[in-house]
Structure 1
């Protein structure tokens, strides 16, 4: 499908580029001809040439306008083509999407340990957002623990959008063209939080009286009623310019607050209009559409109107428009007045409408993920079960991916053992990442799954902190304290990888057993990976709620063989000494 769309877009681009070339030459010829006839008018002092020059110049402006619209179409189809090229590259294993490094947070309960952000992360794997609104919202969504109801609603929305390829790609293209950053969005948000200055009422009176006087003087001059009307026309024209000149400081202040947000607002208006034009079946998407309606307020019309107002305000820097339009009817005063009226009517609604775009982009990204992985299934959302059948890691190659089943229904806690490189840490991340995907409403790589949204806590990637004079051991203890404190408040799901590495073996073993028993008494669900086989004896004390599982390794023909299959029991084989001997270290 992606290759088909690329071919279609290339054909359209070839046609558009030919049309642009013709238009480009046409506008050049028209401009030269208009200049030539203007020269003839001056040289021959014949007004008919000036009339021809005017007609040619008007046609030139029309052609320029058509050319600009063709260029906008070219940008659209180039962007749509690139979107599909990026998807093909992605399916070939090349991640060209934003990796979200700015969201790395070692203090977060699970995102840092599960590598949700960064190079080759789940964020980069899913992210198809074009605006910072969508990007930020996706990062937040991946770190939230929503309610069961919200997850179910999002699943239906994602499933519906996954089947609407044309909708998804058009919306994604509009977002990519917008390409807004936090700077533009902060400018919009800050603008909504400031009041528009209200100038003295005298400006409103002058904006009516002076243009009216100018109209009277022009009529008097046209009918040659009295010579004074000619001088009065020039005088009142100057008064109009003087009045707007005195008023310009208010306009410039507003433009400064807006910080060139007109283009961003235009693109957001297009995105909202397109979204609202579609009919959806899922309740969540319908809810979003309802949020974009506030009594008689239409979000896309309001945003379009605002962007047009800002564009008109920005023409205050155009000398020709400033003199011609303000000298006659104080154009920029009335545009500013229109902005004041807009704020009174829509201001409270603006930022909420813009923010919703991020939510739509998140659903669009998840739907694209679902489309690329049509064999994935949506977990059943339950009230008390977490169970996965043939669960795989989404970031591993599908051809090499080994899938394993695990059920936390009866055994609330699993102690996982295995030799070095056997897959323990990878499996912990497999469970964690798929829980995150389940929570956000995405399908996951499994045969079936049952999930309920427990707060997730992970301890896998702790490091020394020189800046805080904090040892590795103390960092571990702090994280474990956080986990225990949270478990005392509510039931949670934990993933622990070889805890207490920063202390001696006896301390480590007794400390690990102590942590496991503490979590057990707090009714915590989850897994802990360990090399200490004696820790596994803890399950004998709690056979109804604890379980030993392992990854084994075999030595065949003096080579290590891993099958990465999860088995019941305690790991029996070791490989550290074998590897060091093979590498001639010992």
Structure 2
């Protein structure tokens, strides 16, 4: 059973409260560990001073051993603090996710990308129906952090689909909606990272890394790097316990190791700078992939996204471990010691080469599929946040019936819903009415909900049944100084595009708002008339909003192919009142005279 929206909002508020308290508690623990690190550092200094002042050889050996204890404890504390730092970063992202949902339900802009990059004036409907950009449908429903997720969501809002695919996507979205509580963690693991960095890593894995790691393929290098920890430890113990001459051997060993690293430095750097500093990012992505792998998915669409036979999250965790080890070189002292004694950079490159050979292809595919899950989660989150919305019924045969349909971008308290249905055969429905009465909004309401339906999402309606159409619109026609295009020429270009699409695709549905505004009233009427007749001839369903009442008379010549609807106004004591409700028949009441009178112009 779906929760009412007020309960959903309260749930987000409760989550925000709990995660905020959790973050504060974790911060206190990190502060305590910082003080412990200072104490260990001071202890190390104390042992060093005691070593310098001691003349007893036995005592010196004991102090030398004691010198290692604060270092070991310090390393343990640093590791624990690093884990807590990652934990608090994750919790901050989770807080952001909850806060963002609360904000959206209170009318604040979504913090995710609004898709401006996907705007296109030439698209058959995207610009007219506010699909992309600020205050758009994309801006309302997007919950994607990755570039691939954003691209997939844009594609599914902009391209025609088919019935089977829509139904399979609906099934997937419903399944994820039932798991919505777990998706916030998934999103938190992906949010807050530079999306370009993961794209760079994918390119590196696809085409560059194998070649860059060619220098570590030699069998001698691999054998020696595997052996070197034992050599270094043996020499150090011999220097401490057997003879001081082994310090000279150790010095020679260090010089050789450093020289080897310097010779291969440019090749090592090329590998490192493709991945360096990305361990947190990959940890987050690995956790997100683990979630997709651990769910008991039922829908065929979701199962098709899991095409790897091995747990890819483990493979990414293994890569993360290698990169974390590689990042040790960022600390000059620690990195210098590790390379001098253990050839640390070469060791990391060899491990990376072994990992690359066995795991890179599966990881690339899994990283790409994260975008698929993000896109589905975007639609599922919308379904969860809007419990009054419904999943439409996708029909095989020509159909479009809806009740209580409203515009999803208009706040619920201001939204006016309407009922609408087409006939058994296509008709051109002429919608007349006053300025500001609701004609344009109704056309956009119908169109934007059709876009949602075809993406596999719920729609802002009480009920909706429809077949699959190619949507074509004619609403916001603009001139272009750059292209030397007048408004009238731009209108003609748009009309030609629609006519071409109508001929190519017999399942086209056309939405037109006030055609041919850039010419005189006589040509406007004649042009609109012949265009409507063309749509009738092609059996193309259309909604045609206009102020021209003469077009309503076309029903006389085409009684079975034309229907009339209108939005009207009520005038009480000289004041206009709009109900924004669609009614049958042509409009009888207009408001232009009243509006002109308000600015000092009176019509006879």
| TM-score after normalising by structure 2 | 0.89
C-alpha distance in 1 between matches for 2:217 and 2:25: 56
SS of aligned partner of 2:285: helix
Q: 1:10-159, aligned counterparts within 5 Å? A: 10-45=20-55, 46-47=59-60, 48-97=62-111, 98-159=113-174
Q: 1:257-336, aligned counterparts within 5 Å? A: 257-258=274-275, 261-288=278-305, 290-291=306-307, 293=308, 295=309, 297-336=310-349
Tell me the equivalent position of 1:371: 384
C-alpha change, 1:506 and 1:218, in structure 2 (3 Å) is: closer
1:232 CA drift (Å): 4.8
CA-to-partner distance for each residue in 1:191-245, whole Å, 9 max, x for gaps? 4222423546895424535875996797589399999876555434433332332
C-alpha distance in 1 between matches for 2:575 and 2:29: 65
Checking the alignment, whether the CA contact within 8 Å between 1:113 and 1:461 is kept in structure 2 is yes
Checking the alignment, whether the CA contact within 8 Å between 1:128 and 1:364 is kept in structure 2 is yes
CA-to-partner distance for each residue in 1:331-372, whole Å, 9 max, x for gaps? 322322332333333333333221111111111121111111
C-alpha change, 1:236 and 1:364, in structure 2 (3 Å) is: same
C-alpha change, 1:386 and 1:160, in structure 2 (3 Å) is: same
Moved more, 401-410 or 561-570: 401-410
- Unpaired runs of 5+ in structure 1? none
SS of aligned partner of 1:565: coil
C-alpha change, 1:245 and 1:104, in structure 2 (3 Å) is: same
2:535 to 519, 536, 545: 519
Tell me the equivalent position of 2:260: 243
C-alpha distance in 1 between matches for 2:538 and 2:204: 46
C-alpha change, 1:74 and 1:212, in structure 2 (3 Å) is: closer
Checking the alignment, whether the CA contact within 8 Å between 1:251 and 1:313 is kept in structure 2 is no
C-alpha change, 1:268 and 1:134, in structure 2 (3 Å) is: same
1:425 CA drift (Å): 0.7
1:205 to 200, 203, 220: 220
Checking the alignment, whether the CA contact within 8 Å between 2:405 and 2:460 is kept in structure 1 is yes
Checking the alignment, whether the CA contact within 8 Å between 1:188 and 1:258 is kept in structure 2 is no
C-alpha change, 1:541 and 1:20, in structure 2 (3 Å) is: same
SS of aligned partner of 1:114: coil
C-alpha change, 1:506 and 1:243, in structure 2 (3 Å) is: same
Checking the alignment, whether the CA contact within 8 Å between 1:23 and 1:67 is kept in structure 2 is yes
Tell me the equivalent position of 1:559: 575
Moved more, 550-559 or 78-87: 78-87
Moved more, 134-143 or 438-447: 134-143
2:177 to 147, 162, 170: 162
Are residue 182 (structure 1) and residue 199 (structure 2) matched?
no
SS of aligned partner of 1:494: strand
Checking the alignment, whether the CA contact within 8 Å between 2:403 and 2:419 is kept in structure 1 is yes
SS of aligned partner of 1:272: helix
C-alpha distance in 1 between matches for 2:468 and 2:368: 25
C-alpha distance in 1 between matches for 2:22 and 2:543: 54
Checking the alignment, whether the CA contact within 8 Å between 1:132 and 1:180 is kept in structure 2 is no
C-alpha change, 1:69 and 1:329, in structure 2 (3 Å) is: closer
1:451 CA drift (Å): 1.9
C-alpha change, 1:346 and 1:521, in structure 2 (3 Å) is: farther
Tell me the equivalent position of 1:380: 393
Moved more, 204-213 or 472-481: 204-213
C-alpha change, 1:197 and 1:85, in structure 2 (3 Å) is: closer
C-alpha distance in 1 between matches for 2:217 and 2:201: 31
Checking the alignment, whether the CA contact within 8 Å between 2:180 and 2:380 is kept in structure 1 is no
RMSD (Å) for aligned C-alpha atoms: 2.7
Tell me the equivalent position of 2:498: 483
Moved more, 415-424 or 215-224: 215-224
Checking the alignment, whether the CA contact within 8 Å between 2:228 and 2:343 is kept in structure 1 is no
C-alpha distance in 2 between matches for 1:3 and 1:189: 40
SS of aligned partner of 1:193: helix
Checking the alignment, whether the CA contact within 8 Å between 1:272 and 1:299 is kept in structure 2 is yes
Tell me the equivalent position of 1:344: 357
1:108 CA drift (Å): 1.5
Checking the alignment, whether the CA contact within 8 Å between 1:218 and 1:230 is kept in structure 2 is no
Tell me the equivalent position of 1:254: 271
CA-to-partner distance for each residue in 1:46-69, whole Å, 9 max, x for gaps? 433443342123222222222222
Aligned residues: 581
Tell me the equivalent position of 1:570: 586
CA-to-partner distance for each residue in 1:6-39, whole Å, 9 max, x for gaps? 2222332333233233223222222222222222
SS of aligned partner of 1:376: coil
1:459 to 452, 459, 474: 474
SS of aligned partner of 1:420: coil
SS of aligned partner of 2:320: helix
- Unpaired runs of 5+ in structure 2? 1-10
Moved more, 278-287 or 195-204: 195-204
SS of aligned partner of 1:426: helix
C-alpha distance in 1 between matches for 2:564 and 2:124: 25
1:401 to 415, 418, 442: 415
Tell me the equivalent position of 1:192: 206
Tell me the equivalent position of 1:356: 369
C-alpha distance in 2 between matches for 1:163 and 1:526: 37
C-alpha distance in 2 between matches for 1:322 and 1:336: 14
Tell me the equivalent position of 2:8: none
Are residue 474 (structure 1) and residue 482 (structure 2) matched?
no
Tell me the equivalent position of 2:19: 9
1:383 CA drift (Å): 1.2
1:418 CA drift (Å): 0.9
Checking the alignment, whether the CA contact within 8 Å between 1:207 and 1:330 is kept in structure 2 is no
Q: 1:501-540, aligned counterparts within 5 Å? A: 501-540=517-556
C-alpha distance in 2 between matches for 1:190 and 1:148: 38
SS of aligned partner of 1:174: helix
C-alpha distance in 1 between matches for 2:312 and 2:327: 23
Checking the alignment, whether the CA contact within 8 Å between 1:217 and 1:232 is kept in structure 2 is no
